[in-house]
């Protein structure tokens, strides 16, 4: 998860994406790692909490700056 999030955030093509972490060890997502994630959902989480988190960070497509991938 950390490596994938880091790769997404360091690429100019995907840096704008919101990454949501899902973990049983929420303390790992503090400090410098926090900048990689828009939100962290801790396990166990009920499905409504996961859906709510995703809805919170959905971005309309195309983005306002109309980047084309």
List per-block mean pLDDT (blocks of 10 residues) for the chain, which spans 69 residues.
Answer: 91 93 79 84 92 86 59
Residue 9 has a pLDDT of 93
Phi-psi region for residue 29, left (φ > 0), alpha (ψ -120 to 50) or beta? alpha
DSSP single-letter state for residue 30: S
DSSP single-letter state for residue 5: H
Number of Cβ within 10 Å of residue 10's Cβ equals 10
pTM of the full predicted structure? 0.72
Residue 11 has a pLDDT of 95
Chain-centroid distance of CA 65 in Å reads: 20
Residue 65 has a pLDDT of 59
């Amino acid at each position: 998860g950390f490596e994938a999030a880091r790769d997404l955030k360091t690429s100019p093509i995907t840096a704008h994406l919101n990454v949501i972490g899902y973990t049983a060890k929420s303390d790992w997502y503090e400090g410098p790692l926090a900048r990689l994630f828009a939100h962290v959902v801790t396990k166990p989480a009920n499905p409504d909490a996961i859906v709510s988190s995703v809805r919170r960070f959905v971005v309309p497509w195309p983005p306002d700056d109309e980047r084309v991938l």
